[in-house]
Chain A
Amino acid sequence: MTGKLLVLDNIRKNFGAIEALKGISFSIGKGEVVALLGDNGAGKSTLVKIISGGLQPTSGRMLFEGEEYQAKSPAQAKDAGIETVYQDLSLCTNVDVVGNFFMGREITRKVAGIPILDERAMETITRKALTDAGTRIPSLRTKVEHLSGGQRQAIELNRFVHWGGKLVLLDEPFAALGVEQTRRGLDMIRHVANQGIGVVIITHIMQQAFQVADRIVVIRHGVVAGDVERSKTSPDAVIEMITGQTLAGAGPASG
């Protein structure tokens, strides 16, 4: 973990009168996996959307690779190298698997100066990416609306692994996945982190967090209620932080 990849400094976000985030500060290192935990409505998804350019913070600042960072749109975040898998999936169900895999990054070849979609090339790459990840989808040309929830989530996960970047944000990426697919997903995360990519994963399943994370950050009512290394805490201690039975930041090191 050499050098900080992303530093959050006192991030606040108000929705009208609702204070969703009340000053969040923590950081993510290169190749580090941070599990972001917290109860429903704690502000996890809001924080992810601020990092990925979907929402603007009310105040506070971010440093990405040591430089002032603030994405005005998801396109800017992507350009900076930040990939996101959202809690409510981001697929166009009216388009086929290949179209979704390459959404916004289509491969084209010029015909008389006009960019024409290179469907064959995109299909080949999509097939390879899905096969490598062990995802089985009968036909890459079926519209996503005909696929199961797990298959859809798998497409999104494979998409981020394929495109890589410097930081990936995963908001409950395994919610619709079966046991085997979840195991593969967790392996995928370790694999991605080993390449030096920073990972933030939101999950409600303690076991997953402890399986994959280097560090655990707990958010409670819009503030950081705990920021501890995995090896220095226990599931019980984390649950106490989530439910608020200990003081902010004072995660006991029992384990």
Chain B
Amino acid sequence: MTSQTRKILEFVLDNLVWFMLAFVLAVFSALIPNYFQTGIFTNIIEASSVLGVMSIGLALVIITGHMDLSVESVAALSAMAVGILFCSAGIGIGIKLSPEWLMVPVSLLVACAIGALIGFFNGFLVVKLKMSAFIITLASFIWVRGIVLAISGGRSAQDLAPAIRWFAIERLLGIPLSAWIAIACFLLFSVMMAKTPFGRHLVMIGGNETATFRAGIPVNRNLILAFVMAGAIAGLAGWLLAIRTSGATANLGVGLLFNAFAAVVIGGISLKGGVGGLPGVYAGVLLLSSINTAINLMGLPANYTQVIHGLLVLAAVLLDMFKQRLRARLA
């Protein structure tokens, strides 16, 4: 194979998700009546904000060669905490702060702090006790959701304080502020991963942990930080989730994990670690969101959505395997 064709093939492999996104949008626009309109596209971006933010955290951890299955439950717990504190109906206790805008940073801090704490717990066990991240975070996935059920007693909080709700209602260029938050997160963390030593080190740890350790990079500290970040970002996703639904229910966000997982893998993050970047993950999120919108427009019953999502996760993992094989042959 000439180096020219190899370069082209690699470029296609690296950016496969963007081609898929363009392809899917083109097909849907051609086949589904009413799909092609700006309203739909802003809708797709809007609907993808929670999933997008959550996917960032998951991607960070997978890039280091580990796994975080707890992000969905963490988001739910953060949403429930915000709901209980700042909702005025249901199980909400309706704390009022003055001035009102103060509720925004306080609720945000609560959501992210809860996530960061659970992230630290996960990271500490994985890194210091050398336990499998898959098992540790699977346990967290279960017990954190258990706490959500326990503190809510299965009931819900409604009527979130308007000062916080503002983010879901106010729009800039037709897109709600909550979606801009997701976009800002993608920009911020993309820069972190691609341009700062910390991000570079996370990628290197995913590629060859021994080598980074020998090079004097604080591997354990960086790994724990990655888990803490994933937790805090999941907390932010929970905050957005509470805003979008104006409250929190006990089963809020169920199923998001698998969507996030699919988005990350379709977005080009390899499960073996060290490969992929966050811009691709955003494309993956948009791709899933486009498919969801298409399903809605075609009026398929919700049960089919789950079948399709399951198949998408499977397809994503197959795609990852296929790409790894192809890369091995290119190398």
In the complex the two chains form, is B197's CB within 8 Å of A91's CB?
no
User: Known interface pairs A90-B208, A94-B274, A99-B204. Does A116 touch B195 (Cβ–Cβ under 8 Å)?
Assistant: yes
Give Cα distance in the complex from A105 to B331, angstroms. 27
In chain B, positions 294-331 with a C-beta closer than 8 Å to chain A are 330-331
Partner of B211, one of A90, A108, A117: A90
Given contacts A99-B204, A146-B331, contact A92 B274 (CB under 8 A): yes
Q: Which of A78, A79, A92, A108 contacts B208, CB < 8 Å?
A: A92
Minimum C-beta distance from B64 to chain A (A): 12
- Per-residue CB proximity of B252-286 to A under 8 Å, as 1/0? 00000000000000000000001100000000000
A104 in contact with B212 (CB, 8 Å): yes
Write the nearest CB–CB distance from A47 to chain B, whole angstroms.
Answer: 16
Whether a CB of chain B sits under 8 angstroms from the CB of A103 is: yes
The count of chain B contact residues (Cβ–Cβ below 8 Å) is 23
Q: Are B207 and A93 in contact (CB under 8 A)?
A: yes
Give chain A interface residues in 70-92, CB to chain B under 8 Å: 73-75, 78-79, 84, 86, 89-92
Pair A54/B196 contact, Cβ less than 8 Å? no
Whether B153 is near chain A, meaning CB under 8 Å from some CB there, is no
Identify the interface centre among A84, A95, A108, A114: most chain B CB within 10 Å of its CB.
Answer: A95
B99 at interface, CB cutoff 8 A: no
Min C-beta distance of A127 to chain B, whole Å:
19
Q: Is B214 in the interface zone, CB < 8 Å from A?
A: yes
A94 cross-chain contacts in B, Cβ below 8 A: 203-204, 206-208, 274-275
Q: Is residue B218 within 8 Å, beta carbon to beta carbon, of the partner chain?
A: yes
Number of A-B contacts (CB under 8 A): 74
A235: chain B residues within 8 A (beta carbon): none
User: Does A236 reach chain B (CB closer than 8 Å)?
Assistant: no
Q: Which residues of A contact B331 (CB under 8 A)?
A: 145-146
Q: Please tell me if the beta carbons of A92 and B214 are within 8 angstroms of each other in the complex.
A: no
- Minimum CB–CB distance from A103 to chain B (whole Å) comes to 4
- The yes or no answer to B96 lying at the interface (CB within 8 A) is no
Q: Which residues of B sit under 8 angstroms from A91, Cβ to Cβ?
A: 208, 211
CB neighbours of B210 from chain A (8 A): 90
Given A74-B213, A104-B216, the answer on whether A92 and B204 have CB atoms closer than 8 Å is yes
Tell me which of B200, B216, B274 contacts A78 (CB under 8 A). B216
| Per-residue interface assignment for chain A, residues 91 to 113, with 1 indicating a CB less than 8 Å from any chain B CB and 0 otherwise | 11111000100011110100000
Interface flag for A115 (CB, 8 Å): yes
CB distance from B157 to the nearest CB of A (A): 37
The residues of A that contact B218 with a CB separation of less than 8 Å are: 75
Whether A117 contacts B214 in the complex (CB less than 8 A), given A90-B208, A94-B274, A145-B331, comes out as: no
Q: Are A84 and B214 in contact (CB-based, < 8 A)?
A: yes
Q: Give per-residue flags for B200-232: 1 if the beta carbon is below 8 A from chain A beta carbons, else 0.
A: 110110111011111111100000000000000
A79 CA to B201 CA in the complex, in Å?
19
B208 touches A117 (CB 8 A): no
Near A by CB (< 8 A), chain B positions 168-206 give 195-197, 200-201, 203-204, 206
State in angstroms the CA–CA spacing of A228 and B9 once bound together: 56
- 27 intermolecular pairs with C-beta atoms under 8 Å apart: A52-B214, A74-B216, A75-B217, A90-B215, A92-B203, A92-B207, A92-B211, A92-B274, A93-B207, A93-B208, A94-B204, A94-B206, A94-B207, A94-B208, A94-B275, A95-B200, A99-B204, A103-B204, A103-B217, A104-B201, A104-B215, A104-B217, A108-B197, A114-B196, A115-B197, A117-B196, A146-B330
Please give the residue numbers on chain B whose beta carbons come within 8 Å of chain A beta carbons, in ascending order.
195-197, 200-201, 203-204, 206-208, 210-218, 274-275, 330-331
Across the A-B interface, give the 5 residue pairs with the lowest CB-CB distance, nearest first.
A94-B207, A75-B216, A104-B215, A92-B207, A90-B211
